Structure 1
Amino acid sequence: MTKQSSFYRDWLAQPRVDFLSGLVVGLALIPEAIGFSVVAGVPPEVGLYASVVIATIIAFTGGRVAMVSAATAATAVLMGPIVHRNGLGYLLAATVLMGVFQIIAGIFKLGRLMRFVSQSVMTGFVNALAILIFMAQLPQLIGVPYAVYGLIALGLLVIYGFPYITKAFPAPLVAIIVVTFVSYVLHLPVKHVAELGALPTGLPHFSIPHVPLTLGTFQLLAPLALALAAVGLLETMLTAQILDDMTDTPSNKSRECIGQGIANIGSALFGGMGGCAMIGQSVINVTSGGRGRLSTLVAGIFLLVLLVLLHGLLAIVPVAALTAVMIMVSINTFSWRSIPQLRTNPWPSSIVMVATVLTVVFTGDLSKGVAVGVLLSGIFFAGKVSRLVRVSSRLSEDGGTRRYLVEGQVFFASAGLLGEAVDVQETAVKRLEIDVSRAHFWDISAVGALDRIVMKARRHGLEVEITGLNQASETMVERFAAHRNGEALPSAH
């Protein structure tokens, strides 16, 4: 496809539909951007500016068209500690470093590592994220006036009831309007958004984070930045895969990693927090008809217009309205069908999912949960594949030759079974034939097992012949097998 046709497809194929879809997404970004700011412990303008900048930049730099990126819960839940300890400046610096790590990941095409993240890990990641979002709302539910509970209940009622009336407007936005109106008219004694911090009244301005440029600062920020980069890319790759399936179109994962890094650096330089792709808003965009980059660009620009014109109204929004929205996000994010599937799915898959969730909940770190899940998935997979190796044998009619037939995949987890199956101390046997024509040797552990069998047999005075090595296995043996008297292991066909 030529650059001209690619540009037309991404930007001009359906401008009217993309424009209208972007307007809907821009409206839907407001409540969650403010809510995620609360989760991160920063003023609302930090999340709002982040959503504007990230959505605008990613429209040009991203590798998955029609995907919406902004401030998200996945990254926000990791930010609170450093904001409380060191202040906003350190968070912005960590966001710049986060973007650098993501650009490096894109350059080295680390997005391909998503193929090693199993469905169980992804489900655990999503469920843990939902739990963390809900837990972040607990301070807004404990020790507050009774009116807060009433407003939250009203907000949830509107969120889940309004779609039955019409889906022309985002239900969360309608809920915020209704709850704000009721609170304002009744003069309810509840906390408002204005009490959380300054709201933006104009365009974001360029500013470099004010932190000491020292090795100590890097050592402080690097672990958080790496966690933010990993979690952000994980949710981004997951969202990209969902949109790939929904639209039956491919995406460039490496470009998306680089694009996310550029967008996050830009966000930090304009006073915004880090973010990533948003599953909910991306799905809203696609289901509203958005298919091009224009829809994402319009969402970012329209959000900025709303902030400049409506910042006065945003100030009187009750925090309870945002709490209702975030509770909705946590409920909708959680994979409820995964609970009954714990009994029907294979037990290793269920253990991986539960372990991922528990690790995240107890550590508060989504990246650690994913690491544990991937590690357990690898262990269970290795154990399963290792059992696929079969070794059978038969004795020749004269009793002097024992012929072994090896079938299956021989690698570090199954190499031990091969060594245990071959008996070099059998009385009267003078010769061993090991037929590996139905096996494949994957690594040096497999070659090492073959080494040990041959060396041990020779120490017992047995002649050994290896037959049937396929080309790839023979290459492994020739390169890595032990030598005796200058000759490699036998590998005759």
Structure 2
Amino acid sequence: REHGLEYLFAATLLTGALQIAAGYLKLADLMRFVSRSVVTGFVNALAILIFMAQLPELTDVTWHVYAMTAAGLGIIYLFPYLPLIGKSLPSPLVCIVVLTLVYLVSGMEIRTVGDMGELPDTLPVFLWPDVPLNLETLMIIFPYAIMLCVVGLLESMMTATIVDDLTDTPSDKHRECRGQGIANIGAGLMGGMAGCAMIGQSVINIKSGGRTRLSTLIAGSVLLLMVVFLSEWVSRIPMAALVAVMIMVSIGTFDWASIRDLRKHPLSTNVVMLATVAVTVGTHNLALGVFVGVLLAALFFANKVGNVLHLGSTERHAGREREYRVVGQVFFASSERFMAAFDFKERLDRVIIDLSRAHFWDMTAVQTLDRVMIKFRREGTDVELVGLSEASATVVDRYTVHNDPQAVDRLMNGH
């Protein structure tokens, strides 16, 4: 808007290049950090947004629109039960054809596709963005290209996960990243803007029997040919027919089991799912909604794992020695509990800390262990660590400072 349409095309080209790079760098592996509750929230939010997008077509309209929409939903849900032909034709397509014929015959006054704007009448042509190839242009388009890349890949990877579940087949997420990048470069070179996977069309495709990438190619190709060469007919399709199809998509996309299972699932899982839905619907920002969901899931997980820490102790040699046994994960969320479990004022000659069933994960855990060692020594107590696993020993041996007097002073003084 600030720099002109040509910069949109340039940003689209850069978006494609970044997505191809993301595919080769295997950044799609980061999707494993997106929990199932976030994916469920994403799906439900998209279903709600799809439904909300249809409301303008159902507001301040005549009764004909409601009748046509209801008839369309009836065809979509009842047609598959017809013998012989019910399973051979996609019911959404039948809905569009039948309602278009009804509109043409009746001549009723309702909105059509042609009322939404002018359809293209030529095939796309090659178009190189008319922008200067310099650092200033890069600085203008790079922030937008990064956002387009992240949001596009995020929505596409989550859509791929949903499609995998619906079809019970795996998909190569890295290949999807590269393919999307190549497609966006192609779009930018033909005067188009960046795009990504579309959950609505994907669900329609699967519900209609599509199972391979060929179905997607055919869908796009037929749509292109229809809007260019059959625009006169396409423009006569009543919007009520498309509204009925998209309402079907929103109903089919929403995970109704997630509502039924609210009482069964843990509170943290429900909070993550509902927060993802609320933020996505409230801001219409997919990336922000998923970010909030992932952040909450991580916080709940860290809190849960941090609470799975047990410290017990046994007194030995008439109160002169005590053995502490640590069981669980020691990291930033559990370090305070680890520290609070020791009695530094107890007059002991020796303390043994058994770590054979514990694991130290980060610098916070190592520094807490340092503080425990230093405090016991300052009270005149000899401390011995036993049972460190190989992984924990690697971290502890590399980063502990309790044997360095200068480092001890810095640590205890908070530097």
Fold match, TM over 0.5?
A: yes
Does the C-alpha gap of structure 1 residues 331 and 245 become closer, same or farther in structure 2, counting only changes over 3 Å?
A: closer
Distance 1:188 1:92 in 2: 41
Distance 1:169 1:87 in 2: 44
Does the C-alpha gap of structure 1 residues 132 and 250 become closer, same or farther in structure 2, counting only changes over 3 Å?
A: closer
**Is 1:147 matched with 2:64?**
yes
TM-superposed deviation, 1:191: 2.0
Q: What is the DSSP-based 3-state SS (H/G/I as helix, E as strand, rest coil) of the residue aligned with 1:342?
A: coil
TM-superposed deviation, 1:153: 1.8
Counterpart in the other structure of 1:206: 126
TM-superposed deviation, 1:257: 0.9
Counterpart in the other structure of 2:107: 187
CA contact (8 A) 1:89 1:209 kept: yes
Distance 2:144 2:42 in 1: 18
**Is 1:462 matched with 2:381?**
yes
TM-superposed deviation, 1:317: 1.2
Does the C-alpha gap of structure 1 residues 343 and 119 become closer, same or farther in structure 2, counting only changes over 3 Å?
A: same
Counterpart residue type for residue 156 of structure 1: L
Q: Give the RMSD, CA atoms, in angstroms.
A: 3.0
Counterpart in the other structure of 1:481: 400
After the TM superposition, which of the residue ranges 88-97 and 115-124 deviates more from structure 2?
88-97
Counterpart in the other structure of 1:333: 253
Q: What is the DSSP-based 3-state SS (H/G/I as helix, E as strand, rest coil) of the residue aligned with 1:189?
A: coil
Q: What is the DSSP-based 3-state SS (H/G/I as helix, E as strand, rest coil) of the residue aligned with 1:337?
A: helix
Does the C-alpha gap of structure 1 residues 452 and 102 become closer, same or farther in structure 2, counting only changes over 3 Å?
A: same
Counterpart in the other structure of 2:284: 364
Counterpart in the other structure of 1:411: 331
TM-superposed deviation, 1:236: 2.5
Does the C-alpha gap of structure 1 residues 334 and 247 become closer, same or farther in structure 2, counting only changes over 3 Å?
A: closer
Cα deviation code 1:406-435 (max 9, x no counterpart) = 111111111111111011111x31211101
Does the C-alpha gap of structure 1 residues 212 and 171 become closer, same or farther in structure 2, counting only changes over 3 Å?
A: farther
Counterpart in the other structure of 1:440: 359
Distance 1:87 1:160 in 2: 45
Does the C-alpha gap of structure 1 residues 191 and 287 become closer, same or farther in structure 2, counting only changes over 3 Å?
A: closer
**Is 1:162 matched with 2:79?**
yes
Counterpart residue type for residue 308 of structure 2: L
Q: What is the DSSP-based 3-state SS (H/G/I as helix, E as strand, rest coil) of the residue aligned with 1:454?
A: helix
Counterpart in the other structure of 1:38: none
TM-superposed deviation, 1:469: 0.7
Q: What is the DSSP-based 3-state SS (H/G/I as helix, E as strand, rest coil) of the residue aligned with 1:234?
A: helix
Cα deviation code 1:127-172 (max 9, x no counterpart) = 1111111222222222223322222222222222222221222222
Counterpart in the other structure of 2:180: 260
CA contact (8 A) 2:204 2:249 kept: no
TM-superposed deviation, 1:327: 1.8
Q: What is the DSSP-based 3-state SS (H/G/I as helix, E as strand, rest coil) of the residue aligned with 1:190?
A: coil
Counterpart in the other structure of 1:389: 309
Paired residues, number: 405
Q: What is the DSSP-based 3-state SS (H/G/I as helix, E as strand, rest coil) of the residue aligned with 1:359?
A: helix
Counterpart in the other structure of 1:99: 16
TM-superposed deviation, 1:288: 7.3
> TM-score w.r.t. structure 1 length?
0.74
Distance 2:5 2:104 in 1: 31
**Is 1:110 matched with 2:30?**
no
CA contact (8 A) 1:356 1:372 kept: yes
Q: What is the DSSP-based 3-state SS (H/G/I as helix, E as strand, rest coil) of the residue aligned with 1:277?
A: coil
TM-superposed deviation, 1:210: 5.9
TM-superposed deviation, 1:350: 0.3
**Is 1:238 matched with 2:161?**
no
Distance 1:295 1:396 in 2: 73
Relative CO higher for 1 or 2, CA cutoff 8 Å, sep ≥ 6?
1
After superposition, residues 230-379 of structure 1 pair within 5 angstroms as 230-244=150-164, 250-279=170-199, 282=202, 293-379=213-299
Counterpart in the other structure of 1:74: none
Can you give the 5+ residue segments of structure 1 that lack an aligned partner in the other structure? 1-81
CA contact (8 A) 2:7 2:129 kept: yes
Distance 2:99 2:124 in 1: 28
CA contact (8 A) 2:19 2:153 kept: yes
Does the C-alpha gap of structure 1 residues 202 and 137 become closer, same or farther in structure 2, counting only changes over 3 Å?
A: same
Distance 1:145 1:206 in 2: 43
Counterpart residue type for residue 400 of structure 1: R
TM-superposed deviation, 1:346: 0.7
> TM-score w.r.t. structure 2 length?
0.87
Q: What is the DSSP-based 3-state SS (H/G/I as helix, E as strand, rest coil) of the residue aligned with 1:276?
A: coil
CA contact (8 A) 1:481 1:488 kept: no
Can you give the 5+ residue segments of structure 2 that lack an aligned partner in the other structure? 409-415
Cα deviation code 1:278-336 (max 9, x no counterpart) = 45655676787766554544444444444444222101112222222222222211111
- Report % sequence identity: 55
TM-superposed deviation, 1:478: 1.5
Does the C-alpha gap of structure 1 residues 243 and 334 become closer, same or farther in structure 2, counting only changes over 3 Å?
A: closer
TM-superposed deviation, 1:254: 1.7
Q: What is the DSSP-based 3-state SS (H/G/I as helix, E as strand, rest coil) of the residue aligned with 1:344?
A: coil
Q: What is the DSSP-based 3-state SS (H/G/I as helix, E as strand, rest coil) of the residue aligned with 1:453?
A: helix
Counterpart residue type for residue 126 of structure 1: V
Does the C-alpha gap of structure 1 residues 444 and 339 become closer, same or farther in structure 2, counting only changes over 3 Å?
A: same
Does the C-alpha gap of structure 1 residues 249 and 93 become closer, same or farther in structure 2, counting only changes over 3 Å?
A: same
Does the C-alpha gap of structure 1 residues 292 and 338 become closer, same or farther in structure 2, counting only changes over 3 Å?
A: closer
CA contact (8 A) 2:119 2:228 kept: no
Counterpart in the other structure of 1:15: none
Distance 1:246 1:134 in 2: 21
Q: What is the DSSP-based 3-state SS (H/G/I as helix, E as strand, rest coil) of the residue aligned with 1:402?
A: strand
Distance 1:198 1:180 in 2: 18
Cα deviation code 1:431-458 (max 9, x no counterpart) = 1110101111111111111011011111
Cα deviation code 1:208-258 (max 9, x no counterpart) = 456788989877766665444334323332343455556665433222212
Distance 1:163 1:361 in 2: 32
Counterpart residue type for residue 145 of structure 1: T
Cα deviation code 1:73-99 (max 9, x no counterpart) = xxxxxxxxx7xx998666555544433
Does the C-alpha gap of structure 1 residues 139 and 299 become closer, same or farther in structure 2, counting only changes over 3 Å?
A: closer
